[in-house]
Structure 1
């Protein structure tokens, strides 16, 4: 069969076309040569090819066969800074509520609560969901030593999310009009809309911070966000107090918007001066028009993973808000107790979620290096870790439930209701951690679509309907019924996700990874040929 040169190479050896490098050899369209896939990157300039030899060689991944014990230790060690980061990010989100609660009126607090809920559902969940695509793209490209592709995917996802943020911001700017159809307390809407309009100013900074964290994490740098938030958190608290005392409810979102941009800037400074090796994966988008326009090409493949990630995250956010709305039927103490248990659950959720991020990065990295055996070992190690993490959080919630409830309220009646709900939440942790880790494995494999679909089924077909029946039906279990139903949905979700992980076709997963990269490379080839043809006109 006759071979056709990939980039119209005219001779053997290395030739440069429009700033891109070809090794002069050719491949058939259905042929994959892994060593050339790593080395012949269309993103590298000729002078940069020499640098490839001295770049880090996926040093946080083992070249030899790993072990369950080794991977478990690495996962736990690398998860420590990420866990701190997730906890601090959570505290950053609730700072405005705490400050307004202390220095504002009860109506201010209600408006802020409505605004924060809207921000989380339509803003934060969208950002976190779309950015999960980088758990697949960046980590797999890094494992394959396609270092500049890591930077390209980071910038491409950021650009895509900036576009997605436009309708979100437009919704926030007119949120009073839309929220009046679902919120009966219309007097709260004006302040909530003002809160959201100011928050919109910080949304681009938040996007840069979230995608930047994943850009660093794909390279094994997990503590960047921790050091950044050690600066941002105290600054945000101080700004929130000062601005809220002087300007009222608008002070808190101003402080948050400033903190979002400060986080993005601090992350850039940290990576530039304290972790300069992160810059090895930077994509030189400003060196030519061809480099720049690639940020806005090939969004379809990224969207195909980003959208299911959005569905997965959004379904979780919305489910707890629906539970809160359903709780309003049971009185003030029940609403307060639900808020306490939901907040404790959110705190507990940060532990397995942060550890799962490490799992996802390591598996995706091994897939990129074509070391499927090690990827499978990480999966086994992750389930061993998930069992330990689930048991750990379960015991904390069981034996510390009274003290945890008292952190959020001093009302004895509310503490009592929360005290009796905590054991249900504690039991949920045993299989919720399994669900979180299984979802992370699917993300690393590029199978977010399965996770998104199962999340919707688990929460909205099983969990919430069953919870409503247990709470309001013949058994009349009230608040406990809601949590029993939610727990059943999570248990079903854990079983379903684990089933798909165990049934993974690793050959197909790796082939899909190569197909994504090859499709992107084909676009490069066409662009280069077009550029060459144009230059001779």
Structure 2
């Protein structure tokens, strides 16, 4: 319980000029939202002063499998998916500490080439992968293809249709119109050099188009693994609430209160500070000095372990601190006990947060998913064993969490040692105890960003404790349920952000606009499904978390209100993602700050305590705020000039 979401922050770095007026390759992904970090570069240079950058055999330590900007004329910038830690809910905060790098690994370069090849093939600019035989070129076969939805979307006029039919007929007859060998996949034109050349020519001549079907497919492909990862990560929270909730409403409220305290004073601190590795590790790896990636990892782990000392003081004093804030003394006592036991897992969690950045800097984003596929089921099993099978009761839940937190870095270490990532580990070094200044300066903005995200909804949990024990327990269930439903639209927004940014970086503004429309339509579908789910099952969902009839009744009464804003929630989340893709995340940040802290909090406190609406009042504020966010950001996106977004991305690259 209390383990926040996975984070992978945006990594961007502009560099060399492109060979055209814009960066026309998908290698210019994310049109670069920031310049390279001088602070990180200075830190790396300082580390290299006394370091031998050559291996023992005299060869350069740089990674031969890494393609650097100077080797790619079309590479304006590259960025990995931006995953903002949502806590219980996401408030996108603009940050000046945007992590950066400027390289493409072989795997990433291959993915870029695949994407370009796919779009070229769809637009009939290269032959298909598998040439069709004569039977496939029959009139009925061609007629069926012409009348398909995908084909009909491409026809805007009679002349357009005639041109498209002529092009496809020529392709099916294996003529030399597209060049190459018609007997080979893609006509024998499946080399990176040819694909890159044709891509540049096609983009500059405006021949690259996309369809709703294609963008929906890409969105599903991008978001599927992310949804699985987020759900697995959040299952660590849900497992404890499931097990403890059936003990009693006091225990359920205590878990919620302890989780809130641990998130704000501990986990958010670890995650916020560890964001500096997204810059330091990525730039060290991108510069070819792989051993420095491991050095930065060691520094961060030691730093976070030092920070664990004041965190430990707070958690060990949890009972006294919470007793002064929360009116229910038994709830405060149990929450304090939870924090004391949870402290034993804090060093492991700190090491895992640092380790995630270590593998992500090397382009290994699947490592975290594999670790969670192992640890999430183990965590659920441990909760059941400790709380119910061994009859340890309430203390079994934090013990299970602490064991899981220590297991996470061990599993990640095993992945690095046995599977991939060892090249960036140069062994333990005394230098890890020096040169902490740049790391801390880069870490502080990330800390502020993550803490701001956690506070908005966590304040409601603390406020619920002043209404009553039943309401606090109900708040725990409601927060968990709404956070669980949030794990679907939020990963979709990440996928949409990445896709839109990629298309803008490739100067394909019409395609980016289509991708945004698809994302909003998918958000509507997801929002309606969540509304239907919570409304239909409002009398059954609470029973999964607790046996207490009072808590069940309160949750069942409030779920329709929570269901009502699910559509706004999904839309607002995906609007945030689109804004990130446009490079206008500051708009989303300010709108969210205004909606949550200027609108939501005053309404929640005014209706919850002033009008004595209780939990209904506390949840009214966020419901209204989400509607405001969706409306303002939707209006901004509707009036956005997508061509101007492409031009602004080009200017950001040039400024780099």
Pair in the same fold by TM > 0.5: yes
What is the 5 A alignment of 1:22-33? Answer: 33=16
For the 8 Å contact 2:257–2:335, the answer to whether it is kept is: yes
Distance 1:167 1:436, change over 3 A: farther
1:22 alignment counterpart? none
- Higher RCO (C-alpha under 8 Å, 6+ residues apart): 2
For the 8 Å contact 1:57–1:145, the answer to whether it is kept is: no
Larger Rg: 2
CA distance in 1, matches of 2:396, 2:495: 36
For the 8 Å contact 1:92–1:236, the answer to whether it is kept is: yes
CA distance in 1, matches of 2:436, 2:426: 8
Unaligned runs of 5+ in 1: 1-30, 519-537
C-alpha displacement at 1:287, in angstroms?
Answer: 9.8
What is the 5 A alignment of 1:111-510? Answer: 111-128=254-271, 152=293, 155=297, 158=300, 165-186=308-329, 189=332, 191-210=334-353, 212-213=355-356, 223-244=366-387, 245=390, 249-270=394-415, 273=418, 276=420, 279=421, 283=424, 297=438, 299-301=440-442, 303-304=444-445, 306-307=446-447, 309-322=449-462, 324-325=464-465, 327-328=467-468, 332=470, 336-362=473-499, 373=509, 378-409=515-546, 414-441=551-578, 451-471=588-608, 478-498=614-634
For the 8 Å contact 1:336–1:414, the answer to whether it is kept is: yes
For the 8 Å contact 1:176–1:190, the answer to whether it is kept is: yes
CA distance in 1, matches of 2:280, 2:223: 18
CA distance in 2, matches of 1:141, 1:366: 24
Considering fraction of residues, name the structure with more helix.
Answer: 1
2:146 alignment counterpart? none
For the 8 Å contact 2:315–2:336, the answer to whether it is kept is: yes
1:55 alignment counterpart? 106
Give me the CA root mean square deviation.
Answer: 4.8
For the 8 Å contact 2:298–2:428, the answer to whether it is kept is: no
- CA offset digits 1:287-337 (Å, max 9, x no partner): 998899677636545543x24531442134324315524653xx84x5554
C-alpha displacement at 1:391, in angstroms?
Answer: 2.3
CA distance in 2, matches of 1:327, 1:150: 54
CA distance in 2, matches of 1:366, 1:291: 40
Aligned length: 473
C-alpha displacement at 1:259, in angstroms?
Answer: 0.8
C-alpha displacement at 1:490, in angstroms?
Answer: 1.5
C-alpha displacement at 1:432, in angstroms?
Answer: 1.1
The TM-score normalised by the length of structure 2 is: 0.58
C-alpha displacement at 1:428, in angstroms?
Answer: 0.9
Unaligned runs of 5+ in 2: 1-13, 28-35, 46-52, 55-59, 68-104, 117-198, 200-207
The TM-score normalised by the length of structure 1 is: 0.69
- CA offset digits 1:424-473 (Å, max 9, x no partner): 22221112122223334555677666555443321222113223434455
Q: Say which is worse superposed, 336-345 or 493-502, in terms of deviation.
A: 493-502
Distance 1:384 1:217, change over 3 A: farther
For the 8 Å contact 2:464–2:615, the answer to whether it is kept is: no
